[in-house]
Amino acid sequence: MAGLPQNAEFIRLDRNGPVLYVWLNKPETRNALVGGMGQELRDTFAALQDMHDVRVVVLRGAGGTFCAGGDLKNFNAASKPLAPGEHDALKQANRAGGALFQAIDEARQAVIVVVEGFAMGGGFGMACLGDITIAQADAQFAMTEVMLGIVPAQISPFVVRRIGLTAARRFGVSGGRLNGVQARDIGIAHEVAADAAALEAAIDSAIAQVLKCAPGAVATTKALMHRVAKGGVEMEALLDQAAEDFVSAVRSDEGREGTGAFVEKRKPAWNIGWKK
């Protein structure tokens, strides 16, 4: 796994062919985003930008829970006012959290986020980043920040974009909890699994479906959709770029292989099937 963090302390990386499993690996803290976990995750997703042989990333938590949110002990320790001219490490760390969420959101690979146990605070935000988010029915989601006197600063843009302003406001100002079914109903999750066995089956099914798709086309499609979601670009310019993306894809090696496979009634080369 060249380029990926080696001997990571806070995460675990398991590679299975074209699939990389990224585990938040501090179950004793319910995989809260403590210490160097954010940096290890940022390093991982930075490396993945150049790893075209990784086609699917599965992001989940070890020990039966996803992520309990931020490092509250560190927040408390950093709550005292700064001296004049003192470097604001807390602000820097918070902004780095936003950079991590953006890196996950904009990964070239298909990202599957798996939620079991708790998805609180930053975990709630990361659940909103999956191209495919799968939740166990009894999972618990909440934007708990306001209950602690703090603000869901870096996750809010991603939550609003995922579920809309009305739903985001409801949970942002109340800290109210949702289970996996409710998270699906408002658009955080795409699929709900009744139990652990069904969750594993749903993950494998999602991986198998993505692996039927051309990896370059997946990356370009994600980038196009992100340009649309960010706004600020006129529709004509978006459609012009979309046309460029389309003709580039058709004339690429992938496009020739995919259309040729269709004509010849065979599977394209990238459709390799999936066995865990």
Q: What are the residues facing 67 on neighbouring strands? A: 119
For 215-239, what is each residue's pLDDT tens digit? 999 999 999 999 998 888 899 999 9
pLDDT for 182 equals 98
Which pLDDT tens digit goes with each residue over 76-93?
Answer: 666 778 888 888 888 888
Query: How far is residue 123's CA from residue 241's CA, in Å, rounded to a whole number?
Result: 34
CA-based R_g, the chain, Å = 20
Question: What's the mean pLDDT when you consider all of the chain?
Answer: 94
Collapsing DSSP to helix, strand or coil, 53 comes out as coil
Encode 17-44: b = buried (16+ Cβ within 10 Å), e = exposed.
ebbbbbbbbbeebbbbbbeebbbbbbbb
Instruction: Quickly count helices (H) and strands (E) in the chain.
Output: 11, 9
Percent of residues, the chain, with pLDDT higher than 90: 84
Residue of 78, 152, 66, 161 whose CA lies nearest to 113:
66
Cβ-contact 274, 211 below 8 angstroms: yes
Q: What is the Cα–Cα distance from 255 to 261, expressed in whole angstroms?
A: 10
- Cβ atoms of 133 and 188 within 8 Å: the answer is yes
Backbone angles phi, psi at 43, to 5 degrees: -60, -40
DSSP state of 191: E
Q: Enter the pTM of the model.
A: 0.94
Confidence of residue 205 (pLDDT cuts 50, 70, 90): very high
pLDDT in the model for residue 274? 79
